[in-house]
Structure formats: structure tokens, C-alpha cells
Amino acid sequence: MTRGGDERDAGDERGGDLAALRGADDAVVYQPAEDSGLLAEAAVAEAHGRVLEVGTGSGWVAERITEERGLDVVGSDRNPHAARQARERGVEAVVADLLAPFRADAFDAVCFNPPYLPTDPDNEWGDWMEHALSGGESGRELIEPFLDDVGRVLAPDGVVLLLVSSLTGYDEVLDLVDEAGFAAEPVVEESFPFETLTVLALRRA
Ligand SMILES: C[S@@+](CC[C@H](N)C(=O)[O-])C[C@H]1O[C@@H](n2cnc3c(N)ncnc32)[C@H](O)[C@@H]1O
């Protein structure tokens, strides 16, 4: 967090040089990867109505949902560089901590590719990329509060699209989903040498 603030200030000092500013942003904003592609595929297939992408990063997933489904998508991210980069793609994006500023029943679909790597507290590195990648010691430190609150912002027939890695503990996430009152259905899944990624569609049980 502290270093993130320093980086934002350094970027802002570049003044009107947008290319340099964008370069600085790329170094501190998660860029689209395999997990982003899987979330986009699932969201394009399952989302409807008003959509929120939590942790939008570069805004690439939100942009794909808009382009391929014509849906209105709001992106949110704790990282102001990410919100700015998403806005540069044409995504309506706000700086927010998870779901805090959004009103009840506001969205028909909520998508989230969370920071999920289990990280030893002694090895936390303290910058915006850590916030994009680290899920704390369990890998589930962002997934837990997200699942606790997502039912509040979700319309009655809404769907949550949540990316889960085998590194995070698939069964443990399913238990949290159940405790939050949702039923889970895998929508897309792909295995890589070190992990299997699944996007779950969550609907009220
Ligand atoms: C793995 S990246 C995913 C980025 C993008 N959605 C994608 O799939 O390419 C996780 C994102 O969550 C954001 N994030 C981390 N903690 C957050 C929080 N408490 N509230 C909102 N966003 C958060 C990070 O800044 C990062 O952009």
C-alpha cells in the first residue's frame, strides 16, 4: 500500500506525458492473462442486466462483456491506476474496496477474478501488484469478505461469476459459497501445469 502510493505520486509527476503515465500504470496494474480470459468467457455466457466487475484491473474483462453482450458494466478496483486504465478503455470505473460503496440489489451479475495466491505474511511485498495477486496466507482473504457481502448488492435473480484456483483450495471455497447461501455451478475450467482454474456461477440456493 505504501509503495503503491509512492508509485502513484511518481506517475502523476510525469505530468502530461500520457504514454509514460500509461507505461507506469502497466507496471502496477494486472494485465489480462489466462484467468482474465476464463472469467470473460464465463461472463459473456452467463451475465445479464447490470454488471459489476470487482477488481477490474486493466478493464479488459469488463470491455469484453460490453463488446460481446452489449451490457452496461461498471468496473471497480482498489487500485486507482487500475480504475484509470479501465476508464481509458471506455469502462465506467471507480475506486472501491470490494463492494462497499454499492447499494443493495444494484447488479444482476457480479464478476470477480480475485487476488488468490496463498502468500506467507513474511513474504508480502507491499505494492499494487501484491494487492492484485496475494490472497493472504490462505489465498482466500479477499474471497471471504466478498462472499459475505455479495448477496447484498445482487438482484434477486442475479448471478455471481467467481474465478477459483486450485491453489486457493477449491473445496474450501465451495464451503464458503455454501455458507453464504449460494449454490455453485462450474461454467468453464482449464488446467495449467501448476493449477486448475474454474469459474463458478453462484446463484441463491
Ligand atoms: C487478479 S487481478 C484481476 C484483474 C482483472 N479483473 C483481470 O481479470 O484481468 C485482481 C484485481 O483485484 C484488485 N483488488 C485487490 N484487492 C481489492 C479490493 N479490496 N477491492 C477491489 N479490488 C481489489 C487488484 O487491484 C486487481 O486489479
Residues 10-58 have pLDDT tens digits of: 333 333 454 455 566 778 999 999 999 999 999 999 999 999 999 999 9
Closest-CA residue, ligand 1 atom 4, reads: 57
Instruction: Give the distance (Å) from ligand 1 centre to CA of residue 112.
Output: 8
Query: What is the set of domains in the chain, with CATH numbers?
Result: 7-204 (3.40.50.150)
State mean pLDDT over 70-92: 97
Please say if the pLDDT value at position 200 is more than 90: yes
Q: Ligand 1: residues within 6 Å at CB?
A: 30, 32, 35-36, 39, 54-57, 60-61, 76-79, 82, 97-98, 113, 115, 131-132, 142
Q: What is the pTM of this model?
A: 0.89
Output the CA 128–ligand 1 centroid distance in Å.
Answer: 9
Ligand 1 geometric centre to CA of 69 (Å)? 22
Site of grid cell 455471481: 160
Distance of CA 33 to the CA centre of its chain: 12
pLDDT one-digit tens code per residue, 138-186: 999 999 999 999 999 999 999 999 999 999 999 999 999 999 999 999 9
Q: How far is CA 181 from CA 14, 25, 149, 152, 174, in A?
A: 47, 38, 11, 12, 11
Counting from 1 in the atom list of ligand 1, the atom nearest the Cα of 36 is 8
Query: In a mutational test of the pocket of ligand 1, which residue from 34, 38, 56 has the highest number of ligand atoms less than 8 Å from its CB?
Result: 56
Span 102-147, pLDDT tens digits: 999 999 999 999 999 998 887 767 788 888 988 999 999 999 999 9
171-184 burial, b if ≥16 CB within 10 A, otherwise e?
eebeebbeebebeb
